Amino acid sequence: MSLWKMLEGSRVLDLAQPMRKGMPQSPNHPPFRMALERRHGDMVRSDGGSAANEIIVTGGHVGTHVDALAHVSQEGLLHGGVAAAEVMSHEGFGSLGIDGFEPYVGRCVLLDVAAVHGVKTLPAGYEVTADDLVRAAGDLEIREGDAVLVGTGWSRLWESGEEFVGRRDGVPGPGAEAGRWLAERRPRVVGGETIAFEHIAPGRGHATLPVHRIMLVESGVNIVETMRLAELLDAGAREFTLVLNPLPIVGATGAPVRPLAIIEERP
C-alpha cells in the first residue's frame, strides 16, 4: 500500500507555537524580532505589481526549537568526549551542530503526566519523577530510537507570558531522576512544552539544567522545547507519527522547528 493511502483518514496536528515579537522565551537567548523591510508600494513595477518582505532576527532557542548536541558541555566536553574549544569558532560548531540532525519521521510516545494526576496542567514548579513517567506509560512500550514527549499541559499557558516563563513560581518538568529514566530507554529525541526540558523550581530560574546534561552530553539525545501539545493531549493520543525537521543552520546550537503529529482519527 502506498504511503499516502496509509495516511488517508489521519489528522495532522501542528505542534509549534506561533513565533511573534514578545512571545515567552528564556532570558538567556536573543529575542525574536520581525519587521517589514519592504512594504507594498515602496517599489512598484511597471506593470503595477509590488512585493513586501521582512527581516527576521532570532536566537536559535526561541519558540519551538530543537537543541543540538553542541548546545551544552560539561567540564568543557561535548557529547562523546569532544572538547568544545576544538570544534567551536565565531562561525559556530564544526561538529555536533543542528545541521547534523537527521530529520526524524517515526513513532512518538506521549507520556501525559498531567493526566496521571487528574489535571489539565501540572502545578508550577512540579518535578516530574520517574514514577510519573512509568504511570503515564502504562502498558505502552518505549522502543529504542523512538521520540518521547512529556506532557505537562504547560502549553495551555502560552498566552500568560511571565507565568509561562516561570521566573517566580517555577515550571513543571522532569528532574534528574526522570531524565535518567528516559535516557535508559535510548530515545532518538525527547521533548516537552516548556522553554527548558527541566524541572524549574520557584525562584531558581535556569541555575542548573541536569536533564540537558544527561540528554545532550551523556546520552546524545536531542531535545525539543516549547512545543504546543495541548490539542494532542486533549485528543488522548498516546502514540503517533512525528515529523521533526529543524532548520539546518550550519554550526548552530539549535534551530526553530515546526513538528507535525500524524494521528489516527477516532470514529
Residue 10 — very low, low, confident or very high, per pLDDT cuts 50/70/90? confident
Q: Which of 8-12, 172-176, 218-222 is predicted least confidently?
A: 8-12
64-75 pLDDT tens trace: 999 999 999 999
Strand-strand pairing, 239-244 and 104-112: antiparallel
How are the residues of the chain apportioned to helix, strand and coil, as percentages rounded to the nearest 5? 25, 25, 50
- What is the percent of the chain with per-residue pLDDT over 70, rounded to a whole number? 99
Cell of 179: 531524565
Q: Tell me the torsion sign for CA atoms 258, 135, 146, 205.
A: positive
165-207 pLDDT tens trace: 998 999 999 999 999 999 999 999 999 999 999 999 997 777 7
Residue pair 222/101 in contact by the 8 Å Cβ criterion: yes
All structural domains of the chain, each given as residue ranges with its CATH number in brackets, are: 3-18+60-264 (3.50.30.50)
Amino acid at 143: R
Residue pair 147/138 in contact by the 8 Å Cβ criterion: no
CA of residue 56 relative to chain centroid, distance = 20
Question: What's the pLDDT at 21?
Answer: 95
Cα(200)–Cα(169) distance, rounded to whole angstroms? 9
Residue 40 — very low, low, confident or very high, per pLDDT cuts 50/70/90? very high
236-251 pLDDT tens trace: 999 999 999 999 999 9
* Mean of the per-residue pLDDT values of the chain: 95
Element (H, E) at 116: helix 113-116
What is the DSSP secondary structure assignment for residue 214, as one 8-state letter? I
Question: What's the pLDDT at 267?
Answer: 54
Phi and psi for 64 in degrees, rounded to 5?
Answer: -70, 125
Please identify which residue in the block is written with the cell numbers 532548520.
247
CB-CB neighbours of 52 under 10 Å: 12
Question: What's the pLDDT at 165?
Answer: 93
142-173 pLDDT tens trace: 999 999 999 999 999 999 988 999 989 999 99
Question: What's the pLDDT at 266?
Answer: 62
Q: What is the DSSP string of 127-180?
A: EEPHHHHHHHHTTPPPPTT-EEEEE-SGGGGGGGTHHHHTTTT-B-EE-HHHHH
Task: Indicate whether 78 pLDDT > 80.
Answer: yes
Cell of 80: 562523546
Cα(216)–Cα(211) distance, rounded to whole angstroms? 8
Q: Which has more pLDDT, 205 or 221? A: 221
111-120 pLDDT tens trace: 999 999 999 9
Question: pTM for this one?
Answer: 0.95
Cα(255)–Cα(97) distance, rounded to whole angstroms? 10
Q: Tell me the torsion sign for CA atoms 53, 59, 62, 64.
A: positive
